[in-house]
Amino acid sequence: MAQTIKIKRSSTTVAPSSLASGELAYSTATGVQKLYYGDGTDVLAIGGKSYTDKLDGIEAGANVTDATNVAAAGALMLTGGTLTSDLVLGNNNKVQFGGTTTNLEIYNDGATSYIKENATGNLEIQATDFIIKDGGGQTMMSFAANGHLRLYDQSAANPVEKLKTQATGIYVNGTMNSTGIKLGNETVTIDSIKDEDNMSSDSATALATQQSIKKYVDDSVPTSVATATTATNVNLTNLANDSSDTGPKYLTFSDGNSGSQPLETQDLLYYNPDTAYLTTKNIEVQSGMITGPSVMTIDPNGTGASGELIIQGSLTVKGTTTTIDSNTLSVGDSLIVLNGDENGTPSENAGIEVERGTSGNVSLQWVETGTTSSSYWAVNDASGVSPYYYPILHTRNAHEQTYTIEGGAF
């Protein structure tokens, strides 16, 4: 009697979940048609119509090294080819590049996808425009061909550009939070911006806001110094801001009292950058010269009674009259020159005169006649009796002369 041996089979299940070692099973489910074998651990597909149909597609005696025959069998040559369908790899199955060294790997571990560079070189991605998007297709980061890098915030429905590099630096759209900013090659790091009207922090690493600087300056330079603690009864009324490069630059001060202006710099004191002159009420200071009104006083002590004025170097006094109003005159030179500006034929007498108040002055004079031989020294005794001058000595051709000395009667 004939015996029939049947193996496990199913027309609906794609593959058996398990098979004993050496056990066979066949699936006739649509699109499967495979024979399975159990090795005690796994269920292996070892044949079936699914495979024989593919073999039937290869003509008898075909050369599998021929690209046409390989392509007709639905395979790829090792030398390359084009996939006409998806290549599906399981979890942790890697696409590896670099031969046995596996320099580059691309794979998914079931949760995370990886592009892993294992070599010592660089991982380069070359593109005209490189864009990174999230799973929903929203742009997260982009690199443009013009060199701009853009970062986007995706907290809103549509991504918003927040940071962009550009030729002049970095553009930030929104608030930038940082623990410190270093500008240029400076060693100081700016760590905060403070809004303090009194600048009380006195920080070397903080910047002040425009409002706090303005308030601090306004408080430090009051419009009325009478409200300050360091001065009273003085008003700073006009601080001129002249941005031009020519003309006088001045400050105006007043004491607040009508008709009493102790210092009015607009009229009394100004500096002219065109001439480099400092002028104060007709007194002008310029290169090597001080000019002023017809009467000027230099008072070292400010009291008129004491103090000392020292002039280093030579002193030249020009004018018609030089008055020395002091109790003691000390001259270090052993020779006093009179008529120092005489440079032609002598014609002026010269001498020393003594002021005697209500009494007549007396003098010792050199009487000039025009020639040395006839000129002489004479004294004036202020007797009021002519002649007033008595010759006492000729300087040249000295000779004896007879004088009558009148003793007078008693």
Yes or no: say if 66 and 47 are a contact pair by the CB < 8 Å rule.
no
What mean pLDDT value characterizes the chain?
Answer: 77
In a domain, 315, yes or no: no
State the Cα angle at 369 between 365 and 371, rounded to 5°.
115
The larger pLDDT score, comparing residue 233 to residue 88, is at: 88
Structure confidence at residue 336 (pLDDT): 85
Same-domain status, 192 and 129: no
In a domain, 3, yes or no: yes
Taking the C-alpha atoms of residue 224 and residue 231, their distance in angstroms, rounded to an integer, is 10
pLDDT band at residue 260 using 50, 70 and 90 as cut-offs: very low
**What token pair was written down for 286?**
């310029």
pLDDT tops 50 at residue 108: yes
Yes or no: say if 84 and 75 are a contact pair by the CB < 8 Å rule.
no
pLDDT band at residue 52 using 50, 70 and 90 as cut-offs: confident
Of the candidates 274, 291, 308, which is a domain's last residue? 291
Structure confidence at residue 261 (pLDDT): 41
In a domain, 198, yes or no: yes
Amino acid residing at 179: T
The larger pLDDT score, comparing residue 7 to residue 53, is at: 7
Helix (H, G, I), strand (E, B) or coil at 25: strand
In a domain, 128, yes or no: yes
- The answer, yes or no, to whether the previous bond of 387 is cis (omega within 30 of 0) is yes
pLDDT tops 80 at residue 42: yes
Yes or no: say if 146 and 137 are a contact pair by the CB < 8 Å rule.
no
Same-domain status, 165 and 191: no
pLDDT tops 50 at residue 230: no
Same-domain status, 282 and 230: yes
Structure confidence at residue 91 (pLDDT): 92
User: Can you give the residue range of the structural domain that contains 155?
Assistant: 102-172
Same-domain status, 163 and 193: no
Same-domain status, 188 and 168: no
The larger pLDDT score, comparing residue 59 to residue 324, is at: 324
Number of Cβ within 10 Å of residue 236's Cβ equals 17
Same-domain status, 192 and 168: no
Yes or no: say if 394 and 373 are a contact pair by the CB < 8 Å rule.
yes
pLDDT tops 70 at residue 178: yes
Q: Into how many domains does the chain fold?
A: 5
Helix (H, G, I), strand (E, B) or coil at 49: helix
Among candidate residues 338, 307, 310, 335, the one with its CA nearest the CA of residue 322: 338
State the Cα angle at 71 between 70 and 72, rounded to 5°.
90
In a domain, 242, yes or no: yes
In a domain, 66, yes or no: yes
Same-domain status, 69 and 112: no
In a domain, 306, yes or no: no
pLDDT tops 90 at residue 35: yes
Number of Cβ within 10 Å of residue 283's Cβ equals 14
Taking the C-alpha atoms of residue 55 and residue 73, their distance in angstroms, rounded to an integer, is 7
Laid out side by side, the sheet with 269-272 consists of 269-272, 277-280, 283-286, 289-291
In a domain, 53, yes or no: yes
DSSP 47: E
The larger pLDDT score, comparing residue 72 to residue 81, is at: 81
pLDDT tops 50 at residue 296: yes
pLDDT tops 70 at residue 302: no
